[in-house]
């Protein structure tokens, strides 16, 4: 289901064009993952599991990368305004390696099978154990390609530094999605890989939003950022649970995989 290396590069490149920003901004919607209470946006329940890189606050190997993203986030807040863009906590920044299950699908599966979470963790551990990563000194590195505007969120999209870095991430994804025991749980791959770090979700969208002006400003920010962008070293994949979109946690015995 995932793209070939060149098709991935081409697709992501299209997402960072000025015309793409203009068309995407036409259709942005408030995110249901946040609710405004007493004048403040608060995360709404949105439970599930993903395989991700260690969140920024726990990933000392990528401290420069996450510090840079904090600067990017601040510039986007200033550009969009605090009502339009709801920033996520910077210590939760991460790269999702594989979406697993979330919200109603997770709630239903958990209610219908008291062992669902245990079986899910077992499947991921099995996939990690069988994963054959070609380490031989090669590092899996990705780099920021530009701002990405999604229907309900905004962030930065990433491209692999080389084809091997892309293929190693695809291997990880295939080890999960093609695991027969994982499939037997009723979970399917739903998205092509679009590597990104979410920096914020959309809140209140003004009726008089200056789409053309905002698109131009986003495009200008891209040109500033891309002069010197740090890379992220994808050195570990971890099964993490979330109750909402601001915290991703794990227990000490949950599966992780060393990717370097």
Q: How confident is the model at residue 247 (pLDDT cuts 50, 70, 90)?
A: very high
Distance set, CA 201 to CA 33, 87, 226 (Å): 8, 7, 23
Domains in the chain (CATH in brackets) are 5-258 (3.90.1140.10)
Q: How confident is the model at residue 69 (pLDDT cuts 50, 70, 90)?
A: very high
What's the CA gap between 84 and 202, in Å, rounded? Answer: 5
**Average pLDDT of span 103-121:** 96
Taking a C-beta distance cutoff of 8 angstroms, is the pair 133, 152 a contact?
no
Confidence at residue 134, expressed as pLDDT on a 0 to 100 scale? 66
Torsion angle (degrees, nearest 10) of CA 56, 199, 159, 241: 50
Confidence at residue 65, expressed as pLDDT on a 0 to 100 scale? 96
**Average pLDDT of span 119-137:** 87
Taking a C-beta distance cutoff of 8 angstroms, is the pair 149, 194 a contact?
no
Query: What does DSSP assign to residue 44?
Result: P
Share of the chain above pLDDT 90, in %: 90
Q: How confident is the model at residue 90 (pLDDT cuts 50, 70, 90)?
A: very high
């Amino acid at each position: 289901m995932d793209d070939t290396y060149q098709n991935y590069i081409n697709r992501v490149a299209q997402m960072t064009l000025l015309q793409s920003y203009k068309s995407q901004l036409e259709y942005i919607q408030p995110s249901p993952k946040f609710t405004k209470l007493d004048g403040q946006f608060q995360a709404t329940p949105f439970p599930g599991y993903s395989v991700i890189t260690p969140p920024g606050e726990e990933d000392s190997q990528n401290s420069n990368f996450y510090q840079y993203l904090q600067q990017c986030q601040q510039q986007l807040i200033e550009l969009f305004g605090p009502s339009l863009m709801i920033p996520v906590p910077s210590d939760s920044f991460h790269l999702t390696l594989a979406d697993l299950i979330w919200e109603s699908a997770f709630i239903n599966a958990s209610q219908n099978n008291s062992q669902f979470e245990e079986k899910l963790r077992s499947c991921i551990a099995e996939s990690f154990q069988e994963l054959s990563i070609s380490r031989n000194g090669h590092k899996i590195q990705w780099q920021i390609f530009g701002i990405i505007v999604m229907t309900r969120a905004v962030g930065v999209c990433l491209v692999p530094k080389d084809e091997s870095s892309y293929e190693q991430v695809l291997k990880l994804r295939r080890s999960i999605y093609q695991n027969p025991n994982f499939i037997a749980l009723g979970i399917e791959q739903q998205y092509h890989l679009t590597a990104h770090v979410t920096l914020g979700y959309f809140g209140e969208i003004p009726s008089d939003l200056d789409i053309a002006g905002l698109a131009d400003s986003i495009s200008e920010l891209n040109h500033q950022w891309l002069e010197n962008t740090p890379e992220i070293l994808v050195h570990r994949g971890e099964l993490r649970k979330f109750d909402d979109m601001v915290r991703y946690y794990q227990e000490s015995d949950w599966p992780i995989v060393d990717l370097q």
